[in-house]
Amino acid sequence: MARSLLATIIFLAALQPIIVLGAGDAAARLTAQGKQFEERIFKIADNAYTAVGYSVSNVSMIVGDDGVVIIDTGMTLDDAGRIAEEFRKITDLPVKAIIFTHAHGDHTGGAAAFLGESRPQIWAHENFGSEARGWVSGDLTVQKMRGARQAGFRLPPDQRINNGVAPVRYPKRGGAVFSSDDKTSPTHFLRGDQQSLNIAGIELELVSSPGETNDQLFVWYSAGKALFAGDNFYRSFPNL
Ligand SMILES: [Zn+2]
Protein backbone atom coordinates (compact mmCIF):
# COMPACT_ATOMS: atom_id res chain seq x y z
CA MET A 1 0.00 0.00 0.00
CA ALA A 2 2.71 2.44 1.03
CA ARG A 3 4.77 1.46 -2.00
CA SER A 4 1.91 2.07 -4.44
CA LEU A 5 1.21 5.43 -2.79
CA LEU A 6 4.87 6.36 -3.16
CA ALA A 7 4.81 5.24 -6.81
CA THR A 8 1.71 7.40 -7.40
CA ILE A 9 3.40 10.41 -5.82
CA ILE A 10 6.52 9.91 -7.95
CA PHE A 11 4.35 9.54 -11.06
CA LEU A 12 2.37 12.70 -10.28
CA ALA A 13 5.55 14.59 -9.46
CA ALA A 14 7.00 13.58 -12.82
CA LEU A 15 4.02 15.20 -14.56
CA GLN A 16 4.72 18.60 -13.00
CA PRO A 17 6.54 21.03 -15.26
CA ILE A 18 10.02 21.72 -14.04
CA ILE A 19 11.01 25.37 -13.98
CA VAL A 20 14.71 26.00 -13.97
CA LEU A 21 15.91 29.53 -13.48
CA GLY A 22 19.35 30.36 -14.73
CA ALA A 23 21.60 32.59 -12.63
CA GLY A 24 20.95 35.42 -15.12
CA ASP A 25 17.18 35.16 -14.66
CA ALA A 26 17.51 35.20 -10.89
CA ALA A 27 19.83 38.22 -11.03
CA ALA A 28 17.40 40.06 -13.33
CA ARG A 29 14.47 39.30 -11.05
CA LEU A 30 16.36 40.38 -7.93
CA THR A 31 17.44 43.57 -9.68
CA ALA A 32 13.82 44.28 -10.66
CA GLN A 33 12.69 43.55 -7.10
CA GLY A 34 15.28 46.05 -5.87
CA LYS A 35 13.24 48.92 -7.36
CA GLN A 36 11.01 48.80 -4.28
CA PHE A 37 14.04 49.88 -2.23
CA GLU A 38 14.61 53.16 -4.04
CA GLU A 39 14.84 55.95 -1.47
CA ARG A 40 11.47 57.65 -1.08
CA ILE A 41 9.37 59.35 1.57
CA PHE A 42 5.75 58.21 1.23
CA LYS A 43 2.88 60.19 2.70
CA ILE A 44 0.79 57.24 3.86
CA ALA A 45 -2.00 59.19 5.61
CA ASP A 46 -2.69 62.70 6.85
CA ASN A 47 0.26 63.60 9.10
CA ALA A 48 1.98 60.21 8.57
CA TYR A 49 5.10 59.52 6.53
CA THR A 50 7.27 56.47 5.86
CA ALA A 51 10.87 56.50 4.64
CA VAL A 52 11.53 53.51 2.38
CA GLY A 53 14.89 52.38 1.00
CA TYR A 54 17.18 54.54 3.15
CA SER A 55 17.92 51.71 5.54
CA VAL A 56 17.33 48.00 5.98
CA SER A 57 13.91 48.68 7.51
CA ASN A 58 11.32 51.41 7.04
CA VAL A 59 11.16 54.40 9.38
CA SER A 60 7.90 56.26 9.96
CA MET A 61 6.88 59.61 11.42
CA ILE A 62 3.47 60.77 12.66
CA VAL A 63 3.08 64.50 13.17
CA GLY A 64 1.06 65.69 16.17
CA ASP A 65 0.14 69.04 17.70
CA ASP A 66 3.44 69.88 19.36
CA GLY A 67 5.72 67.01 18.44
CA VAL A 68 6.19 63.87 16.39
CA VAL A 69 6.30 60.14 17.02
CA ILE A 70 8.94 58.05 15.22
CA ILE A 71 8.23 54.36 14.59
CA ASP A 72 11.43 52.34 14.17
CA THR A 73 14.73 54.06 13.51
CA GLY A 74 16.69 52.24 10.80
CA MET A 75 19.93 50.33 11.05
CA THR A 76 22.73 52.87 11.32
CA LEU A 77 23.21 56.46 12.44
CA ASP A 78 24.11 57.37 8.89
CA ASP A 79 20.85 55.96 7.43
CA ALA A 80 18.78 57.45 10.23
CA GLY A 81 20.50 60.84 9.95
CA ARG A 82 19.53 61.10 6.29
CA ILE A 83 15.93 60.14 7.12
CA ALA A 84 15.81 62.66 9.98
CA GLU A 85 16.99 65.33 7.53
CA GLU A 86 14.14 64.48 5.13
CA PHE A 87 11.60 64.41 7.97
CA ARG A 88 12.80 67.83 9.17
CA LYS A 89 11.85 69.24 5.76
CA ILE A 90 8.26 68.24 6.61
CA THR A 91 8.25 69.53 10.19
CA ASP A 92 10.76 70.74 12.75
CA LEU A 93 8.59 69.74 15.73
CA PRO A 94 10.55 67.82 18.36
CA VAL A 95 10.48 64.02 18.69
CA LYS A 96 8.21 63.26 21.65
CA ALA A 97 8.40 59.47 21.38
CA ILE A 98 10.12 56.65 19.56
CA ILE A 99 8.37 53.29 19.26
CA PHE A 100 10.36 50.17 18.44
CA THR A 101 8.22 47.48 16.77
CA HIS A 102 10.84 44.97 18.00
CA ALA A 103 14.49 44.81 19.02
CA HIS A 104 16.21 43.84 15.77
CA GLY A 105 19.18 46.10 15.07
CA ASP A 106 17.85 47.29 11.71
CA HIS A 107 14.88 48.85 13.56
CA THR A 108 16.74 50.25 16.58
CA GLY A 109 20.32 51.06 15.54
CA GLY A 110 19.61 54.57 14.23
CA ALA A 111 17.63 55.82 17.23
CA ALA A 112 20.26 58.32 18.35
CA ALA A 113 19.65 60.34 15.16
CA PHE A 114 16.14 61.19 16.41
CA LEU A 115 17.04 62.28 19.94
CA GLY A 116 16.65 65.97 20.56
CA GLU A 117 17.56 68.08 23.55
CA SER A 118 14.78 66.60 25.68
CA ARG A 119 14.83 62.86 25.77
CA PRO A 120 11.76 61.33 24.13
CA GLN A 121 9.81 58.42 25.58
CA ILE A 122 11.06 55.20 24.00
CA TRP A 123 8.39 52.51 23.81
CA ALA A 124 8.84 48.76 23.22
CA HIS A 125 7.27 45.42 24.04
CA GLU A 126 7.93 44.11 27.54
CA ASN A 127 9.79 41.18 25.95
CA PHE A 128 12.15 43.62 24.19
CA GLY A 129 15.39 41.86 23.27
CA SER A 130 14.26 38.48 24.56
CA GLU A 131 14.92 36.73 21.26
CA ALA A 132 18.69 36.82 21.39
CA ARG A 133 19.27 36.65 25.13
CA GLY A 134 19.31 32.85 25.24
CA TRP A 135 21.49 32.60 22.16
CA VAL A 136 23.99 35.11 23.44
CA SER A 137 24.20 33.57 26.91
CA GLY A 138 24.52 30.10 25.35
CA ASP A 139 27.04 31.37 22.78
CA LEU A 140 24.90 29.89 19.98
CA THR A 141 25.49 30.99 16.42
CA VAL A 142 22.88 28.94 14.56
CA GLN A 143 20.60 31.93 14.03
CA LYS A 144 23.47 33.92 12.51
CA MET A 145 24.21 31.10 10.07
CA ARG A 146 20.52 30.86 9.20
CA GLY A 147 20.27 34.62 8.63
CA ALA A 148 23.43 34.62 6.52
CA ARG A 149 22.03 31.89 4.28
CA GLN A 150 18.62 33.49 4.03
CA ALA A 151 19.85 36.98 3.11
CA GLY A 152 23.06 35.98 1.30
CA PHE A 153 25.46 37.83 3.63
CA ARG A 154 28.35 35.63 2.57
CA LEU A 155 27.91 36.03 -1.16
CA PRO A 156 30.63 37.96 -2.98
CA PRO A 157 29.68 41.66 -3.41
CA ASP A 158 28.81 41.30 -7.11
CA GLN A 159 26.20 38.67 -6.25
CA ARG A 160 24.68 40.55 -3.33
CA ILE A 161 21.93 42.31 -5.26
CA ASN A 162 19.66 42.83 -2.25
CA ASN A 163 18.72 41.16 1.04
CA GLY A 164 15.35 40.03 -0.27
CA VAL A 165 13.47 42.38 2.05
CA ALA A 166 15.90 45.26 1.97
CA PRO A 167 18.72 46.91 0.09
CA VAL A 168 22.21 45.66 0.86
CA ARG A 169 23.34 48.06 3.52
CA TYR A 170 24.90 46.15 6.36
CA PRO A 171 27.92 47.92 7.82
CA LYS A 172 29.55 44.57 8.33
CA ARG A 173 28.56 40.97 7.92
CA GLY A 174 25.54 40.24 10.07
CA GLY A 175 25.56 43.68 11.66
CA ALA A 176 24.90 44.45 15.28
CA VAL A 177 21.65 42.97 16.49
CA PHE A 178 21.00 45.19 19.49
CA SER A 179 21.76 48.69 20.47
CA SER A 180 23.42 48.78 23.86
CA ASP A 181 23.43 52.58 23.95
CA ASP A 182 21.62 53.59 27.13
CA LYS A 183 20.24 56.77 25.61
CA THR A 184 18.32 54.74 23.07
CA SER A 185 17.15 51.93 25.33
CA PRO A 186 13.39 51.70 25.90
CA THR A 187 12.02 53.73 28.80
CA HIS A 188 8.36 52.63 28.52
CA PHE A 189 6.96 49.16 27.89
CA LEU A 190 3.80 47.63 26.47
CA ARG A 191 2.65 45.20 29.16
CA GLY A 192 -0.16 42.82 28.34
CA ASP A 193 -2.02 42.67 25.04
CA GLN A 194 -2.81 46.25 24.25
CA GLN A 195 -2.27 49.80 25.38
CA SER A 196 -3.59 53.19 24.25
CA LEU A 197 -1.26 56.16 24.07
CA ASN A 198 -1.80 59.84 23.44
CA ILE A 199 1.45 61.55 22.55
CA ALA A 200 1.49 65.11 21.17
CA GLY A 201 -2.24 64.72 20.54
CA ILE A 202 -1.69 61.55 18.48
CA GLU A 203 -3.91 58.63 19.51
CA LEU A 204 -2.07 55.34 19.09
CA GLU A 205 -2.79 51.75 20.01
CA LEU A 206 0.12 49.42 20.78
CA VAL A 207 -0.81 45.77 20.25
CA SER A 208 1.31 42.82 21.32
CA SER A 209 1.91 40.67 18.22
CA PRO A 210 4.56 37.97 18.69
CA GLY A 211 5.48 36.69 15.25
CA GLU A 212 8.84 37.27 13.63
CA THR A 213 10.10 37.75 17.18
CA ASN A 214 8.58 37.34 20.61
CA ASP A 215 8.89 41.08 21.27
CA GLN A 216 6.96 42.30 18.22
CA LEU A 217 4.21 44.90 18.50
CA PHE A 218 1.86 46.58 16.04
CA VAL A 219 1.19 50.31 16.13
CA TRP A 220 -2.34 51.29 15.05
CA TYR A 221 -2.87 54.93 14.09
CA SER A 222 -6.64 55.10 13.86
CA ALA A 223 -6.92 58.71 12.63
CA GLY A 224 -4.93 57.74 9.54
CA LYS A 225 -6.21 54.14 9.39
CA ALA A 226 -2.55 53.05 9.26
CA LEU A 227 -1.04 49.95 10.82
CA PHE A 228 2.71 49.80 11.41
CA ALA A 229 3.34 46.07 11.41
CA GLY A 230 7.09 45.89 11.98
CA ASP A 231 8.51 42.70 10.51
CA ASN A 232 5.34 40.62 10.86
CA PHE A 233 4.36 41.69 7.36
CA TYR A 234 6.37 42.41 4.25
CA ARG A 235 6.47 41.63 0.58
CA SER A 236 8.75 38.60 0.71
CA PHE A 237 8.52 35.18 2.28
CA PRO A 238 7.75 35.69 5.99
CA ASN A 239 10.66 35.81 8.37
CA LEU A 240 8.92 33.76 11.05
ZN1 LIG B 1 13.07 41.91 12.42
Sequential DSSP letters for 108-157: HTTGGGG--SSPPEEEEETTTTHHHHHHHHTT--HHHHHHHHHHTTTS-G
Distance CA 181, CA 121 (A): 15
CA 10 to ligand 1 center in whole angstroms: 38
Q: Is residue 57 part of a domain?
A: yes
The Å distance, Cα 64 to ligand 1 centre, comes to 27
Q: Which helix (H) or strand (E) holds 5?
A: helix 2-15
1 falls within a domain: no
Higher pLDDT, 156 or 185: 185
85 C-alpha to ligand 1 centroid (Å): 24
pLDDT at 46 over 80: yes
Give a yes or no: residue 28 inside a domain.
no
* pLDDT tens profile 198-234: 999 999 999 999 998 999 999 999 999 999 999 998 7
Span from the CA of 231 to the centroid of ligand 1 (angstroms): 5
Ligand 1 ion: Cβ-proximal residues, 5 Å cutoff: 104, 231
Report the distance separating Cα 120 and Cα 95, nearest Å.
Answer: 6
Domain count, the chain: 1
For ligand 1, the distance from its centroid to the CA atom of residue 141, given in whole angstroms, is 17
The tens digit of pLDDT for each residue in 98-139 reads 999 999 888 999 999 999 888 899 999 999 988 777 777 777
Residue 179: inside a domain: yes
User: Where in the sequence is the domain holding 62, given as residue range(s)?
Assistant: 36-232
Ligand 1 centroid from CA 104, angstroms: 5
Q: What is the pLDDT, as a whole number, of residue 175?
A: 42
What's the CA-to-centroid distance between 165 and ligand 1, angstroms? 10
Which pLDDT score, from 0 to 100, does residue 178 have? 47
* Strands 226-228, 40-45: pairing kind: unpaired
Residue that wins the pLDDT comparison between 74 and 172: 74
Distance 217 CA to ligand 1 centre (A): 11
What pLDDT, in 10s, does the model give residues 64-77?
A: 999 999 999 998 89
- Alpha carbon 57 to its chain centroid, in Å, reads 4
141: domain CATH number is 3.60.15.30
41: alpha, beta or left? (left if phi > 0; alpha if psi -120 to 50): beta
Question: Is residue 5 in a domain?
Answer: no
Residue 40 has pLDDT above 90, yes or no: yes
In this prediction, residue 90 carries a pLDDT of: 98
Rounded CA-CA distance 187/183 in Å is: 9
Task: Report whether 51 contacts 41 (CB < 8 A).
Answer: yes
Distance 6 CA to ligand 1 centre (A): 40
Distance 57 CA to ligand 1 centre (A): 8
- Within-domain flag for 90: yes
Is 10 contained in some domain? no
Higher pLDDT, 17 or 99: 99
Buried b (16+ CB within 10 A) or exposed e, 55-68: bbbbbbbbbbeebb
Measured distance CA(143)–CA(218) in Å, rounded: 24
Q: What pLDDT does residue 229 have?
A: 95
Whether 226 is in a domain gets the answer yes
Distance from Cα 116 to the centre of ligand 1, integer Å: 26
Ligand 1 mean position, distance from CA 103 (Å): 7
